[in-house]
Structure 1
Amino acid sequence: MSMLPIAQIKLGDCLSKDVCSELGGIIMPKGRVLTERDIEVLDAFMIKHVHINPKKGMETAKPASTKTAISKEQQTKPVEQVSEIDTTELDMKPPSDDQPFHLAWAELAKLMSQVLIMARANQIPTMEMRKLLRPLIDQIKEYKPLAVQTYIKEIDQDLSTNFLIHKSIAVALTTYLIGHWNGCSEKEGMQIALAGLLHDIGKVKVDEDVLRKKESLTEVEQTEVRRHTLYGYEILRSANMITEGVKLAALQHHERLDGSGYPLRIMSDQIHPYAKMVAIADMFHAMTQNRSYRKAASPYVVLEQLHRQAFGKLDPQMVQVFIQKLTLLTQGTLVELNDGRTGEIVFTDSIYPTRPWVSVEGAIIRLAEERQLHIEKVISE
């Protein structure tokens, strides 16, 4: 047995000792034959050294006997490919029965309330979540990210208690759209949606009183909240029918391109694409939904903040596409301005997509010129 730095390990090397995370959970079990994707994962976790048995390679390695071990056949394939090959038929199945969008949302919300309980014991009912996500994905044209707050109220009046559930569903669908808009294949769609749905699953292991606290968090409390990313990866690590990208989205969605994020402070090229998509959707919905301790921010104001964050923090291409797509088809949308007046969007300028022209009582207001005004909320689309 020898300990090698990550830079010196090779494809086909066999682990002679479990590789563990900061929390002590097994990232990769003893006996695993390393693939290119495995090495990327180790690098993402900033693992510096691993124990390798130089005498055991691709042909002689045996699967580990632990519960987290995967088959010998799977060990020789990249993690992403294993899951995608196994689940393509499920993810590409024909549209489900016509169920109203809001009822499909309510059904998934009901399931997610149980998922949050099961996740405390590291149990994830992936098949059931796929089944209830499918009707929402099939009707994705009915989904309006700018008006999420409006129709969630039609489903659930107890938004403060169920905030995490509804935000997770919104992030799932918005992340799905971001993936679609950035050229991801339909085959990846379900995995991308699951990445959004499960991104905050680690919060089930954070003290609820801390999560609901209205006052500023102490340094100790902030540290604990930030550990939800590590908790999330640990919960999903052994889940079936999800790819490594889904797991890394839970771990990395608070990482930033310039290395200023958490928990690992990794840079752009180490952040999984799913995590980059989720980061945008998560920030957008976290700020545009009401909380018990603060009012929801205007979606248009949040889009402007996302635009600023694109420089060094978020993926600039994804942010640009996100803003353009969300604001492209808003002509005719009824909105309320921050001075209380209501109007209708009549034109969206591609240069200033978050500041369209609004018709108010017959007069056209160009928000790009009237900087003291902005759209406070979307009334209807």
Structure 2
Amino acid sequence: MASISILELKPGIKLLKDVHTPLGGLLLQKGTVLLPRDLDILRAFMVQYVEVDTGEADAKNGSKPAAARKSQLNDSTSNEQITTSKISNLQEEYDKLILLVKSAYQSVIAADLPIYELRNQLESVIAHIKDYNPLTFTPKSMNEYDYIFHNAVLCALSSYLLSKWSGLQQKDWMQAAFAGLFHDIGNVKVDPAILFKPQPLAIAEVEEMRRHTTYGYQILKNTTAINEGVRLAALQHHEKVDGTGYPLRLEGSKIHVYAKIVGITDIFHAMTLNRIYRKAQSPYLVLEQIHSEAFGKLDPTLVQVFIQKSTEFHNGTVVRLSNDQAGEIVFTDRSNPTRPMVSVNGEIVNLVQQRHLYIDEVISLN
């Protein structure tokens, strides 16, 4: 073991101690085999010395690192194939649920919800929840008129995760997913001419649109296998913790936790999906807007959990920036999770400092 100046470091050398930022954040973990981008990170943070394994003599002549890099490349290819297969399985079950939700929504006025069929298929999707991330999952095909169904399923998955991430009991996770799945079911009673109107709504049309919350509660009132919290989420998901929401202008303590969860996931997916009147926005920008909404409007603790957990990507995640350049995430500061450092063509782009740039799309995970 030896302390070596970063001026002498070469790719392939293994770290024997964690490397931290000047403020104490973990920069590189013990055991990391340094890659060229890691050297860029160390220089960007002006790290002077690191503890490395001097026993790796081959690291200096390049033979062992080359073999290690070949192995790493093979592993990376294999992992990418596995990931693609997992996403395909998730997408397949997702598409089945979309069709079932579409059928259920279209017939709910004349017939009861097929709750057990919906639950079984929802469970089939949730079986692949480890492969789902709100920021990276994109429906394979979607037209704007099917927005309501995709929003329902995506909110179900994200609400399931947020209820789990926030420490609710396991019995709440599936009910929170139901809350996401049915939160906008009242829209089936709203005039389609209003629901799909591409222009701004008139005052009377806004009032009719807002009635979807009470319509939803009425539709779910006699549905079995869901609890009252699911019905209240349909009624309350547009309430705000400061009492400025609708339909009842409830304040924070009177809003059901499922409604608070769905209130966050609904805003996120509504803004990151294509709509009749608006194109999808960058999920990272939407998270920043949700963060600003947290002050007085949304539950701040739930917002923080949602942002922190959904942005927990490993270094090496490939992203596209708003200037259309692609790069790899190399470091994420927990205090600015939507604005990591990105390596672009060998240069470190610090999105905290360069506020005019933002992540437009996650291209691939590490």
Fold match by TM threshold 0.5: yes
Q: Which position in structure 2 is the counterpart of 1:274?
A: 258
Residue identity in the other structure for 2:131: E
Verify: 1:246 aligned to 2:230, yes or no. Answer: yes
Residue identity in the other structure for 1:241: A
Verify: 1:256 aligned to 2:248, yes or no. Answer: no
Deviation for aligned residue 1:117: 1.3
Verify: 1:324 aligned to 2:308, yes or no. Answer: yes
Which of 113, 122, 133 is the matching residue for 1:124?
Answer: 113
CA contact (8 A) 1:178 1:318 kept: yes
CA contact (8 A) 2:327 2:343 kept: yes
Residue identity in the other structure for 1:115: A
User: Map of 1:286-365 to 2, 5 A cutoff?
Assistant: 286-365=270-349
Q: Which position in structure 2 is the counterpart of 1:110?
A: 99
CA contact (8 A) 1:122 1:235 kept: no
Partners of 1:218 and 1:293 lie apart in 2 by 15
Verify: 1:193 aligned to 2:190, yes or no. Answer: no
Question: SS of the counterpart of 2:333?
Answer: coil
CA gap of 1:159–1:330, structure 2 versus 1, over 3 A, is farther
Backbone CA RMSD of aligned residues: 1.4
Q: Which position in structure 1 is the counterpart of 2:350?
A: 366
Verify: 1:161 aligned to 2:150, yes or no. Answer: no
Deviation for aligned residue 1:122: 5.9
Deviation for aligned residue 1:120: 2.1
Deviation for aligned residue 1:145: 0.7
Residue identity in the other structure for 2:239: E
Deviation for aligned residue 1:330: 4.5
Partners of 1:225 and 1:307 lie apart in 2 by 26
Q: Which position in structure 1 is the counterpart of 2:7?
A: none
Residue identity in the other structure for 1:171: C
Partners of 1:110 and 1:121 lie apart in 2 by 18
User: Map of 1:38-77 to 2, 5 A cutoff?
Assistant: none
Deviation for aligned residue 1:186: 1.7
Partners of 2:336 and 2:179 lie apart in 1 by 30
Which of 212, 220, 237 is the matching residue for 2:204?
Answer: 220
Verify: 1:235 aligned to 2:224, yes or no. Answer: no
Deviation for aligned residue 1:123: 2.0
Verify: 1:211 aligned to 2:200, yes or no. Answer: no
Deviation for aligned residue 1:179: 0.2
Partners of 1:243 and 1:299 lie apart in 2 by 31
Partners of 1:196 and 1:132 lie apart in 2 by 15
Deviation for aligned residue 1:192: 1.0
Q: Which position in structure 2 is the counterpart of 1:49?
A: none
Partners of 2:292 and 2:191 lie apart in 1 by 32
CA contact (8 A) 2:197 2:276 kept: no
User: Map of 1:121-160 to 2, 5 A cutoff?
Assistant: 121=110, 123-149=112-138, 152=139, 154=140, 156=141, 158-160=142-144
Partners of 2:318 and 2:363 lie apart in 1 by 5
Residue identity in the other structure for 1:175: S
Partners of 1:330 and 1:354 lie apart in 2 by 13
- Which has the higher Rg, Structure 1 or Structure 2? 2
CA contact (8 A) 1:148 1:170 kept: no
- The percentage of aligned residue pairs carrying the same residue is 49
Deviation for aligned residue 1:259: 0.5
Deviation for aligned residue 1:379: 2.0
Partners of 2:174 and 2:186 lie apart in 1 by 20
The more displaced of 161-170 and 234-243 is: 161-170
Q: Deviations over 1:193-233 (max 9, x none)?
A: 10000000000001112111111100011001100000000
Deviation for aligned residue 1:121: 2.8
What is the aligned residue count? 279
Q: Deviations over 1:218-253 (max 9, x none)?
A: 001100110000000000000011000000000000
TM-score (norm 2): 0.74
Q: Which position in structure 1 is the counterpart of 2:160?
A: 176
CA contact (8 A) 1:257 1:314 kept: yes
Residue identity in the other structure for 1:277: I
Deviation for aligned residue 1:346: 1.4
Residue identity in the other structure for 2:149: I
Unaligned runs of 5+ in 1: 1-97
Deviation for aligned residue 1:340: 1.3
Q: Deviations over 1:151-192 (max 9, x none)?
A: x1x2x2x42121111111000000001100111122222111
CA gap of 1:136–1:147, structure 2 versus 1, over 3 A, is same
TM-score (norm 1): 0.71
Q: Deviations over 1:108-136 (max 9, x none)?
A: 11101111112223621111110000011
Verify: 1:101 aligned to 2:90, yes or no. Answer: yes
